Amino acid sequence: MKIIESEISNHIQKVKKKELGTIFFFNHIAVVEFNEGVHIDINNAISFFDEFKSYFGESRPFGVIANRIYSYSVKLMDADLFRNQANNLCAYGVVGHNPASKMNAKIENNFCISEKIDYDTLYEAINSVYSKVKSQIIATLN
């Protein structure tokens, strides 16, 4: 399910279309829907991190959810480089909608520092990622 077709679409605060896909911004979360067939690596993903920094700043904790509605590839060897682009990114999730995208999400999970990133539904991912971001915000305030 595309984020725009979900029950939470009325909470979208900003939409940014990029060459690789579209970013939907919420209060503490960004949902990314990459275009069919693109390949994501550190070089072409910089514009996404620029958008994250512009929207969330450099200290406000936030989370990102990749809503895998289309097939695309990610250079997993760039995982550490992705993390270095946004120090305030504190939660990440990937939603798979079919067996192939669910398998890719599980593979991506092996390259991430968080305990679980692969989810079966958009709502499950949003709840989990938001909970992680919220706990980081509370920890930052203390």
- Give the pLDDT score at 110: 57
What DSSP character marks residue 38?
A: -
How far is the C-alpha of 55 from the C-alpha of 47, rounded, in Å? 12
Encode the chain (142 residues) as per-residue pLDDT tens digits. Answer: 999 999 999 999 999 999 999 999 999 999 999 999 999 999 999 999 999 999 999 999 999 999 999 989 988 888 788 888 988 998 888 898 878 777 776 666 555 555 678 888 999 999 999 999 999 887 766 5
The overall pTM is greater than 0.95: no
- Give the pLDDT score at 54: 97
What DSSP character marks residue 138?
A: H
What DSSP character marks residue 35?
A: P
Whether residue 101 contacts residue 123, with contact meaning beta carbons closer than 8 Å, is answered with: no
- Give the pLDDT score at 118: 84
Secondary structure percentages of the chain, helix, strand, coil, to 5: 45, 25, 30
- Give the pLDDT score at 116: 72
Q: What are phi and psi of 126, to 5 degrees?
A: -65, -45
What structural domains does the chain harbor? 3-141 (3.30.750.24)
140 to 51, 55, 64, 65: CA distances (angstroms): 23, 19, 19, 22
Centroid of chain to Cα 12: 14
- Give the pLDDT score at 115: 67
